[in-house]
Structure formats: structure tokens, C-alpha cells
Chain A
Amino acid sequence: MNWLTNFVRPTLQSLVRKRETPENLWEKCPGCEKMIFHRDLIANLHVCPHCEHHLRFAAKDRLRSMYDRGEFQLLTVPGVPTDPLKFRDTKRYSDRLKENRTKTGDDDSMLVAAGAMGGMNVVTAIQNFAFLGGSLGMAGGEGMITAAKAAIDRKAPLLAISASGGARMQEGILSLMQMPRTTLALSMVREAGLPYFVLLTDPTTGGVAASFAMLGDVAIAEPGAMIAFTGQRVIENTIKEKLPAGFQTAEYLVEHGMIDLVVHRRDLRDTLIRLFDLLMNRARKAAADGESVAIPQIGYAGANDAEGVKRAAE
């Protein structure tokens, strides 16, 4: 296997993208409603140059902005049963899945990446909001387990980047069961003495907030991100009152002691590298002392598929 071909080639990909995007495209900022030149938006990591509003950032673009030279590998996540409930609302879930796979080019909403950040190995599990609202289903659970296993194998810190409306209703109870499953994954990383960080992006709600997203050793949020267990409409309908200003924003959460930091997107990479480097102390000491860190056994066949590396198709 040629190792190099399995790296994402950022330059080539950005060339392709440029051709797809008309030069004169403008976007309206959802924060200040001013128009932003598309090229400026990309150069500015999808942050509004006028008001600093952090726009949604596609998962792979975000990964490129964080890893050294924009290079990372996407790890293969073991497959899961498709549409186990044969769920149908106004549409078939299996059709929704197909549409979203075509739209994003990914199998599901959770991607697992590995690569270097500041020269240090870091594994990332990232949710793509563009895929069914980033909802957490069985594939997402396998994604977190795959990421945890990769982090432990590589003695690397694990970063989870949440962007999700919550559990995937169309997978019923099996989606709810991903709350304990993802929690289990990060527990194993923690037991291996490796740092587990979460970057909470807009939005992080429901079953995702109430599991892996709120359990980081360090919890970082993007400015203005909506972070909640229950959505605002549901709360308003229950209490029949207006909600406080800034309720459930990243800034509100940091003020209430629920997260550690709110970090501007341009400072994120440096912040992560600095904190990972400091907190890798235990793992490095153990390695230097020739101690083998007790590596928890994940012990089921599917997780080993994570060894396979898949090309980041786009």
C-alpha cells in the first residue's frame, strides 16, 4: 500500500473546489447580514470578516484547517446495519440516507481522522452537520469507538468535534444506545492516560450533548455556538416564558461553568496543540519510564477494521 496516496492532498482539492465555485460568489453573513466575498470567507476559515460570526464549517475543511499542512488520513469505520427499524415518516429513512451520502460523499455523519498537529499525533472524531443534521446513530457510535481505538493504539490524544442536533430518531432505541457506547469509547481513552478533548461547535444538542460532547477533559466551544440538552422551542413551550438573553450559547455556558474555553477559530489549532502537549505529560512519562500504559482491550472484532485506511474521497 502506498502510504502517500492515502493522504489528503489539500492543494489539489482546493484547486478542484475553486473551479466549482464561481469567482464572484457572495454569501450573506447570518450574524450581521453583510455580504462576504466567498474567497474571503474561505481565507478566513468561514468566519465573517465584518462581525466575527462563526459560520458552519464543513467537516473536511475544518480538519484541513487544523492538521499540519492540512494533511490527515480518514480511518475506515466498520459498517453497521442500514435502517434497522425500516423507519418511514414522510419519507423512507433509507432514502434520506442515500440522499445524504450522495450530497456529502460520506457514509455517515461521523468522520474519523488521524494525523499530526504541531508534529504530535492526534486522532479526531468529527460530526458533519450537513449529513442529516449531524445526528448520532449506530454509524456515529462505531465512529467514536474507532477513533478511541486509534487514539489508544497510537498513544495519541483524542479530539471529538461535535455538530449535531442529537440522537438519530430514525434509528430509535439503537440511536439512544449510542450515548453509552460513545461514553464508553472515551472512558477507554481516559483510562489509557490520554487526553480527551471536545470542541463543541454550532449546534451541539440532545443526546450528543448528554454523552461524549460534555465529557471532555477539556471542553472548548466556538464563539456563539448553541449548546443545549433541550432546544429553545421545547423549553419555551414548557415554561411559557421568554428565555434569558444569550441562553445556551457558548459564552453563556462558560459563564455558568459548564465549559472551559471559548476559542476563536483562528486560534483553535494553536490552543489544541498547546494543551495537548501539556497534558500528554503522563503518557510521555510512562513511555520514558518504559512503563506500558494499561491499554484497555476493546475486544470485539469490528473495531479492528479501523486499521484499514481509506482515502479521503471528495
Chain B
Amino acid sequence: MGTETFLEFEKPIAELEGKIKELRHLADNGEVDIGSEVARLQNRTEQMLQETYSNLSPWQKTQVARHLDRPHFSHYVAALIEGFTPLAGDRLFGDDRAIQGGPGRFRGRSVMVIGHEKGIGTDGRIAHNFGMAHPEGYRKAVRLMHMAEHFQLPILTLVDTQGAYPGVGAEQRGQAEAIARAIEALLEVKVPVVCVVVGEGGSGGAVALAVGNRILMLEHSIYSVISPEGCAAILWRSGDKAREAAEALKLTAQDLFKMRVIDRIISEPTGGAQRHPQEMVRRVGAAIEAAFAELDNEGSDYRASRRQKFLEMGRVGLA
């Protein structure tokens, strides 16, 4: 299994896996023959994962979407993008490592890849500010969007952020304006835009990179106007109503698909992307390829069709 970090609702699974480990340890010491017992327990674990993960509540999905072992921007790019060259800086103030971006080749196609990077390990997470961008991040993204437009590179974005960073410097330097400009730039470009919400789609900081011709979401990712905790604090006036808020907000990929806000759900391996990151990256790659191929066939005015998509959003298919 690909993760050592178990979520609260995964306790029974953790216990089973603990038992398997224990048995293996005993077997290594030659004390017992455990072959059939381990197989039985492994089956049971797999079954339990299958059951648990096909019935995740919105709040459980929120935790899965935030799981530290889920593949990040850097994993996807390493496996899917040849010659990816991250470009730095907004040319105004600084470089923001919470948002990464640059040109590269995706299956024979030159693309501009832009996404949030939450960072790996404690040092990595601090260096990337946990994927919470400052204005510089969004302004770098805008610069890269314009570059993509100039050189006619399709844009691929990977969305994974709790939200834009709430800080003094971020406000001073125009967090709101920076986000608004990124949205505007994605509405302006004539090249095709494919967006994938790979983990957490947190509010304005996420939508800034998620205005595309195709918007895909991983099966257990979330995308919301506000975090369940934030919503609970405001509307219930209590942070511990996050579970209720998560239900009410309808923030799962399945909910968004029903509301026609997203185009496709990419299924996750049993037990979530965090258990099988390589398989997840493979599936995401296939989904991106399919999305670009679809757009090739549509092949005309990507800007007009993107605008039309957003104009119609909420007008079609809602009760």
C-alpha cells in the first residue's frame, strides 16, 4: 500500500494492515507459516477499502482530497511532461513557489503547464507555502498564460490549493486583483485550456486557474466556494460543524458533475490516489490526452466556446 498516513475513518483498515505487518515480521523470523492468513487479511483489507471508498461522505472526501500522500503537481509533471521547464517570477515583485508553471511537451504536444504545488515533506511544504499563493503566483500564472497565447501553446492547469494566502503582504500587493486578472486572462486566451482539480479546489485561489474549455476532477477531489471549516465558522458560528457544512456545500466531484460545473470525473484507484499515486498519474494523463483530443476535434474558436460554457453555467441542467 502506498501510504502510511491513515485518515480517522480508515482506522479498521489501519488495524488490518498492522496485523499483516505483524504476521510478516513473525514469518521473517521463521516462527510461523502465515501465507494463507496474510492472503485472507489482504483480501479483507482490499474489500474494506473498496466499500469505504465507494461510500465516502463529503467530509471524508475533503480529508482524502487533502491527504499529504496524494500525487502533486510535481509528480504529474515528472511523469507526464517531457522537458518541463519551470519559469520563475512575475516581473514585478517576486517568485511564488506555491504556483509552478512553464512550457513542456505532453505526448507530442507543446503545452504550458501551470498549477499549485503544496510541497512534499515539511521543508517542501514550507517552501511552497502549502500551495497557498500570493499575488506573485497569480501574476506569474498570467504571464505564462499570455506567453502560451503568444506562442500558441494549449494550457494545462492542475488545481490543488486550500486557497489564496491570507496575509498582510498578499493584501498589500493586491491579492484580489491578481486573482481577478488570472480569471480574466483565462477567459481571454484563444488557445485550448484544460483544467484538472487533482486535490483541493479552494475558492478564489482555485478558480483563478480553473477557467477552461474542459474541467476535470479526480473522483475524491473537492472544489468549493469556501472550506467546510470556514463555512461552518460563518454560517453555524462553530468550527466543529465542518462535517455539516461539507454536506451542505455540495463540494464533491460527483455533485459538481451533476450541476454541470465540471465535464468529467477521473476515477481513482481503490483506496484513493494516495495509495496508488503512479496509477493515478497514469489515469490523469489518459484523461488529459482525451480532453485535448476532444478539443482538437471541436477545433475552432476555443475562446468563444469557453465563454459560452461559462455563460451557460447554472442556466442549464439545474433543478
Contacts and interface: CB of A to CB of B under 8 A. Distances in A.
A247 B183 CA distance: 25
Contacts of B179: 179, 210-211, 229
B225 interface: yes
Given A172-B250, A181-B310, A229-B204, A89 B168 contact: no
Contacts of A84: 259, 314, 318-319
A180 B310 CA distance: 7
B91 interface: no
A212 to B, nearest CB: 7
B188 A187 contact: yes
Contacts of A214: 174, 176-177, 180
Nearest to A256: B172
- Chain B contact residues: helix, strand, loop or mixed: helix
B176 to A, nearest CB: 4
A248 B171 CA distance: 7
A184 B260 CA distance: 19
A286 interface: no
A229 B248 contact: no
Contact of A173 (B173, B235, B250, B319): B250
Interface string B183-203: 110111000000000000001
Given A81-B314, A184-B307, A230 B249 contact: no
A180 B308 CA distance: 11
A221 interface: no
B171 A229 contact: yes
B114 interface: no
Given A206-B204, A239-B168, A243-B168, A213 B176 contact: yes
B14 interface: no
A235 interface: yes
Nearest to A83: B319
A173 B261 contact: yes
Interface string A66-103: 00000000000000110011011110000000000000
A258 B310 contact: no
Interface residues of A, number: 58
Contacts of B245: 89
Interface in B29-57: none
Interface stretch (A10-18, A33-41, A261-269, A295-303): A295-303
B167 A177 contact: no
B171 A228 contact: yes
B312 interface: yes
A243 B168 CA distance: 7
A60 to B, nearest CB: 27
B225 A176 contact: yes
Given A138-B314, A229-B164, 13 more contacts: A80-B314, A81-B318, A81-B319, A167-B203, A172-B255, A173-B250, A173-B261, A179-B204, A210-B164, A210-B180, A210-B183, A235-B168, A247-B171
21 contacts: A84-B318, A89-B235, A89-B248, A90-B236, A138-B314, A174-B318, A177-B310, A179-B204, A181-B314, A183-B180, A187-B188, A210-B175, A211-B180, A213-B176, A214-B176, A230-B166, A235-B171, A238-B166, A241-B168, A298-B311, A303-B311
Interface of B: 164, 166-168, 170-177, 179-181, 183-184, 186-188, 203-204, 207-208, 211, 223-226, 230-231, 234-236, 244-245, 248-251, 255-256, 259, 261, 307-308, 310-315, 318-319
